[in-house]
């Protein structure tokens, strides 16, 4: 009985910390994905002359858009675009809606809704 009580106490103390670490791991994975995609976007810009427009989106890194002369991709290794750690597509906009950056490349985190700045992860 004492052993069960001790195990219950340990689970109550360690459980929330383990869940917190898991959430941080997903956030870190999204940050790394965004940095990698940002490098691919920079290569695209070097070849084509500008970032892909919002309508073409990140798919322009995988398949050549009809209006992208100089395209030398694919710029990502996989045939389809990666999703964020919460299995949602990354949000891409060019030109940016934020001051000081050329384009927006974001994940809205666990809840997937814009406006929650504590969960939103974007390029710098």
Beta bridge partners of 121: 107
H/E stretch holding 15 reads: helix 2-48
Which SS3 state, helix, strand or coil, does residue 29 take?
Answer: helix
What CATH number did the domain enclosing 118 receive?
3.30.700.10
Other Cβ atoms closer than 10 A to 57: 18
Q: Is residue 80 part of a domain?
A: yes
Q: What is the pLDDT of residues 42-70, one digit of tens each?
A: 999 999 999 999 999 999 999 999 999 99
Q: Is residue 94 part of a domain?
A: yes
Q: DSSP labels for 73-103? A: ---SSSSSPPBPTTS-BPEEESS-SSTT-SS
Q: Is residue 99 part of a domain?
A: yes
* Domain hosting residue 61, numbered range: 26-122
Q: Is residue 84 part of a domain?
A: yes
Mean pLDDT by 10 residues, the chain (124 residues): 62 58 79 96 97 96 94 90 92 94 94 81 89
Q: Is residue 1 part of a domain?
A: no
Q: Is residue 10 part of a domain?
A: no
Number of domains in the chain: 1
Q: Is residue 15 part of a domain?
A: no
Distance, in Å, from the CA atom of 92 to the CA atom of 90, rounded to the nearest integer, reads: 6
pLDDT at residue 119 in the model: 85
Spell 61-91 as b/e; 16+ CB within 10 A means b.
bbebbeebeebebebbeeeebbebbeeeebb
Its pTM stands at 0.79
């Amino acid at each position: 009985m004492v052993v069960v009580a001790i195990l219950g106490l340990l689970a109550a103390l360690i459980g929330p910390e383990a869940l917190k670490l898991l959430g941080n791991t997903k956030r870190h994975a999204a940050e790394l994905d965004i940095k990698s995609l940002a490098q691919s976007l920079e290569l695209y810009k070097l070849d084509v002359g500008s970032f892909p427009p919002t309508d073409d989106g990140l798919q322009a890194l995988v398949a050549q858009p009809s209006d992208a002369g100089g395209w030398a991709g694919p710029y990502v290794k996989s045939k389809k675009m990666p999703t964020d750690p919460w299995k949602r597509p990354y949000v891409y906009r060019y030109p940016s809606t934020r001051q000081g950056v050329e384009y927006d490349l974001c994940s809205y985190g666990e809840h997937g809704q814009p406006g929650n700045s504590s969960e939103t992860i974007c390029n710098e």
